[in-house]
Chain A
Amino acid sequence: MTNPPIAPTISPDAMTARAKSWLRMRAIARRHAYVLVRSPHRLFDVSLWPLVDVLLFGSLAAFVGTSGSTPAAKASGYLLAGIVLWHVIYQSQIAMSTGLLEETWTRNLLNLMVTPLREVEYLGGVALFGMIKLVIGVGVMVIGAFAFFSFHTWSLGVGLIPIAVVLLVVGWAISLFVMGLVLRFGTGAEALAWGVMFVLLPLSGVFYPTKALPTVMQPVALALPTTHAFTALRSLVDRHGTDWTQVSIAAIGSLVMLGLSMWFLVAMLRAFRKRGYITRYT
């Protein structure tokens, strides 16, 4: 009655480790794409909210700009350029953080953790998906700013690219920190996924030079890489070209931030395994 054993057709060595990693990352990205496409309210993140933001800040910019003074015209440009670039952080951060939160909300964490999926592959997968969301979300803003307010984001030049890359890295760093908190403290920490952004927003001088902040807050602002990135952005808006000093400080700061966040996440993951926190999600 017993059938003769057959050799498993699936050999762990059939693909190279790199090919398997890439396959897993794409699988994770596709899994989150299904969530996005099949949850219409999630599409708001990349369509409605960016549009609402561009309308809000664009209208504010149009109103401020009507006074005709040079500072008002500058402020108008700062508002629109600031909100478009702010969404680079927002989209990259939210996509990654809610990627992990989605697994906790649906009690899917154990399903994933028993597979060969490595932590770095999971992060790579959600980051890959986050890039797609980022392109859509920021694309909606750029088009909205042009269509409604004749604001040509691309006219700021290629200097936008390094600034956007720095802000992307900052978004990833914040999301790794939030993920660490969720692993350690459970879904109660999820409020931080959104809240931490709104701490950063005023301190980074997204829409104004940081000298407009209360004096006591200015040293804190200067310690943030985002502050330097947005200072470089204002230099572009003012047609002073790329401020490579500010971009460099921002780049170094964002890498330090990313390194610290990774260290924190690894420590929290170790605590998660040590203390058996997986039972929160089974």
Chain B
Amino acid sequence: MADEVVLDARGLVKDYRRDRAVDGISLVVHAGERVALLGPNGAGKTTTLLMILGVVSPDEGAVSICGFDLAHQRSRAAECVGFAAGYLPLTERMRVREYLRLYAQLYGIAEPNPLIEAGLERFRIADLAGAMGTELSSGQRTLIGIVRATLHRPRLLVLDEPTASLDPDVARRVREGLLDLCDRDGTALLMTSHDMSDVVEVCERVVFLSHGHIVADGDPDTVAAAYGRGDLAGVFLHLAERHEPTGAQQSDHP
């Protein structure tokens, strides 16, 4: 199962009006693999994720998820993916249980109650089932968003800044829940984060982006060593400096 490719993105290019956001990114993720997509603001992380999710269409390149071509079988591909982002709100005017039921049904689950109970229990928030979305803190909303994204046991879980603005305790619960999910279900994880301690704890592979290119790809220690830094934070800062307009002429590569 570990050799099974769940995400195969080839030669992704995306131009926006003023610049090229993504410039030829290729990324393959296998079942059970935990991958962090890292880089400074504007490196192309979110655009890459949105293309992988089928919400933004690439100008060049193709994405295949669990063998389904995203351009032609988006709905089937989306059944294999879960997505959550720290910045996304919950659907308004719904209780948590109703909200989770709605999304479970969008994923084709007719009787989702046992999965909702299990999902809330995994992140130790079963007591929130009856709460309205507007009554929740931002950390609780993030947790509910992750439960929603994992209800259908996706083959690939995509998370954009899952622990942003979370307190340390909730962030720890998120990390533990994600590791449990990946271990138990063999779910592959692709996440972005600016918190390098999260990345080190959760991910076994890091992919650094800069100026829309992949500039490093490997396990955290190897990537840090290649840049002559002691840890990922050092690599991040190095790339962030290069990302400034004044540093644009310097190489992003090790």
A111 near B91 with CB under 8 A, answer yes
**With an 8 A cutoff between CB atoms, is B183 at the interface?**
yes
State whether B75 touches A5 (Cβ < 8 A).
no
B55 touches A110 (CB 8 A): yes
From B14, B88, B105, A107 is in contact (CB under 8 Å) with B88
B186 pairs with A117, CB closer than 8 A:
no
Interface size on A, as a range, is 35 or more
A24:B183 contact, CB within 8 angstroms: no
* Interface window among A6-14, A189-197, A231-239: A6-14
Contact B106 A273 (CB under 8 A): no
Write the B21-65 contact mask toward A (1 if CB under 8 angstroms, else 0).
000000000001000000000000001001001111100000000
Which residue of A30, A35, A115 has the most chain B CB atoms within 10 A of its CB atom? A115
Say whether A114 contacts B102, CB under 8 Å.
Answer: no
Q: Residue on A with the closest CB to B148?
A: A111
Give Cα A24 to B110, complex, Å: 9
Contact B79 A12 (CB under 8 A): yes
Task: Return the contact of B108 from the options A3, A12, A113, A275 (Cβ within 8 A).
Answer: A12
Q: Which residue of A has the minimal Cβ distance to B153? A: A8
**Binary interface encoding of chain B residues 78-91 relative to chain A, with 1 for a CB under 8 A from any of its CBs, else 0:** 11110101011101
**B: interface residue count bin:** 35 or more
A247 to chain B, nearest CB (A): 37
A270 to B16 alpha-carbon distance, docked (Å): 15
What 1/0 flags go to B153-189 for Cβ under 8 Å of A?
Answer: 1010000000000000000000000001001111000
- State in angstroms the CA–CA spacing of A276 and B180 once bound together: 34
Known A30-B102, A276-B14: A5·B184 in contact at CB below 8 Å: yes
Q: Which residues of A have CB within 8 Å of B93?
A: 34-35, 38-39
Cβ of A34 to closest chain B Cβ, rounded Å: 5
A37 CA to B252 CA in the complex, in Å? 54
Task: Give 6 closest A-B pairs by Cβ, nearest first.
Answer: A27-B105, A8-B153, A20-B108, A38-B93, A116-B78, A115-B106
Q: Give the interface of A toward B (CB within 8 A).
A: 2-3, 5-6, 8-10, 12, 14-15, 19-20, 23-24, 26-28, 30-31, 34-35, 38-39, 106-108, 110-118, 270, 273-276, 278, 282
